[in-house]
């Protein structure tokens, strides 16, 4: 079995292109006798880990706290405002490079809190109008 000399993926005998990296190879008409097992050559890529700023993490934490408050605190107007600010903070944290669980959790909690708050506010208003 042939292997790609760039990425190490297995190559089909009748294929001239690697399915993994797209590198071109010569088609071998006769199977070669392996003299010794060779190690595949891997290309090393320089991936620098990106460390988001502390401001981005703080916005993600604030988004999570505001989203939870919007779901738990039953104050009709305040919870809608908290949910909207939570969504904005989650988007700002993402744009600053923070893509951790805090950012995703804050966004999800804020969206659920916004939907919950709008429903709760409508129920409160309908209840108040029933007494008028």
The residue written with tokens 């090393």 in the block is 44
Tell me what pLDDT residue 89 has.
95
Q: What is the DSSP letter of 107?
A: H
Any residues with CB less than 8 A from the CB of 120 and at least 6 apart, and which?
74, 76, 79
pLDDT in tens, 8-57: 777 777 777 777 777 776 665 555 565 666 666 666 665 544 577 889 89
What confidence tier does 105 reach under pLDDT thresholds 50, 70, 90?
A: very high
> Which structure tokens are listed for 47?
């991936």
What's this model's pTM, rounded to 2 decimal places?
A: 0.58
CA–CA distance, 48 with 28 (Å, rounded to integer): 38
């Amino acid at each position: 079995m042939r292997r790609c000399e760039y990425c190490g993926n297995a190559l089909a005998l009748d294929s001239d292109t690697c399915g993994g990296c797209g590198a071109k190879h010569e088609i071998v008409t006769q199977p070669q006798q392996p003299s010794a097992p060779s190690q595949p050559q891997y290309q090393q890529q320089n991936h620098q880990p990106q460390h988001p700023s502390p401001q981005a993490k703080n916005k993600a934490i604030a988004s999570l706290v505001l989203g939870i408050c919007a779901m738990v605190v039953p104050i009709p107007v305040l919870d809608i405002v908290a949910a909207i600010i939570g969504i904005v903070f989650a988007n700002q944290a993402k744009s600053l490079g923070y893509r951790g669980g805090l950012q995703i959790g804050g966004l999800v909690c804020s969206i659920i809190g916004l939907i919950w708050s709008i429903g709760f506010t409508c129920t409160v208003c309908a209840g108040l109008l029933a007494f008028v």
